[in-house]
Amino acid sequence: MRHAFLIMAGKIDETLLEIIHQLDSRQHDFFIHIDLKAGLIDEQRIEEVVNFSSVVFIDRMKGTWGGFSLVKIELRLLRTASTKHEYAYYHLLSGQDFPVKTNQRIDDFFAQNKGKNFLEVSDRLKNQNPDRYRLRYQQYHFLQDRFIGKKRNIFKYIDFFSCYVQRYIGINRARKITVQSGSQWFSITDDLVQYILSHESWITKHFNYTYCCDELFIQSLIANTQFMNTLSENLRYVDFIWKSKHNLTPRYLTVDDVSLIENPKYLFARKFTANSVEFFKRRIQE
């Protein structure tokens, strides 16, 4: 059983190199997108840490937090990897997702759970702020990709004011679809990948100019389909903390989180510092 690891990273750094080195295997290949905002990159740095896997670098574009550009990157990764027709599973990782199990345990797990899709569908986002959650997808966010991202600038307030105006005049893009949400990161089968890629036009129609659509588009696409019966937990540990009133972000993991290595629920975790990566590497191999 072969695996495609799809990595969306903001830059090539030591943490990314450690992730690739740890997952390097004859059964694993890498498809990597480095954000265009990183400028010139040295692809050879990645190739030097790989002994067994093949590495494919995806044509680069600028990805904006919360924008449809992230969905475009995901689709580009899936499309490129799927053309090989070799992979049973496709795993979407960030440049800060480190495996907390050995390659053998990862491979054995998916062999034993063949056919399941490990993708989160939950009410977590809806429960945090129901009104803002609806604003994500019911109205158009024309400024998110070009001017806002994760910033709280004047364009942010213009964008949300525009959404309330749209709501007032009756614009609701989601009347005819079932909107579901969950984590962006996944481990999914080739069957589901082919289904996603065959519905690119539907995805663009319903989620272009949508806020944080990377956490909505696959979950909503498969609502009311047979794929809902194949879902299981997404195998990734993340602990969100409030850094400020409007900034919910994953905390950095430390040596105190070493129990993740033995917890069967998790194959990957985020985020890691260079020091914590080194510690986890040693413990995983013990």
Q: Can you give the pLDDT at residue 172?
A: 95
pTM comes to: 0.95
Nearest-CA neighbor of 238 among 153, 120, 64?
A: 120
173 occurs within a structural domain? no
Residue 85 confidence (pLDDT): 85
Element (H, E) at 154: helix 154-168
pLDDT of residue 152: 86
Residue 174 within a domain: no
- pLDDT, residue 242, reads 81
Domain contains 205: yes
Question: Strand runs (DSSP E) across 45-109, as ranges?
Answer: 55-57, 89-94, 98-99
Task: Give residue 143's pLDDT.
Answer: 95
What is the per-residue pLDDT for 272?
85
Domain count, the chain: 2
Q: How far is CA 214 from the centre of its chain?
A: 7
User: What pLDDT shows up at residue 129?
Assistant: 82
Within this chain, do residues 153 and 216 fall inside the same structural domain, yes or no? no
In the block, residue with structure tokens 């803002």: 132
Same domain, 14 and 106: yes
Structural domain ending residue among the three candidates 104, 137, 168: 168
Q: Which domain holds residue 131?
A: 126-168
Q: What is the CATH number of the domain that holds 213?
A: 3.90.550
Residue 1: what pLDDT?
93
In a domain, 264, yes or no: yes
Residue 271: asked if its preceding bond is cis (omega within 30°), the reply is: yes
142/113 same-domain check: no
Do 130 and 116 sit in the same domain of this protein? no
Instruction: Say if residue 107 is in the same domain as residue 194.
Output: yes
Counting as low any pLDDT under 50, the low residues of the chain are none
Is the domain of 21 the same as that of 137?
no
178 with 220: CB under 8 angstroms?
yes
Q: Are residues 87 and 158 in the same domain?
A: no
3-state secondary structure of 233: coil
Per-residue pLDDT, 247? 75
Does one domain contain both 119 and 134? no
Does residue 14 belong to any structural domain of this protein? yes
Tokens read off for 192: 């589901």
Of residues 133, 130, 109, 99, the one with CA closest to residue 236: 99
My answer on whether 194 and 153 are in the same domain is no
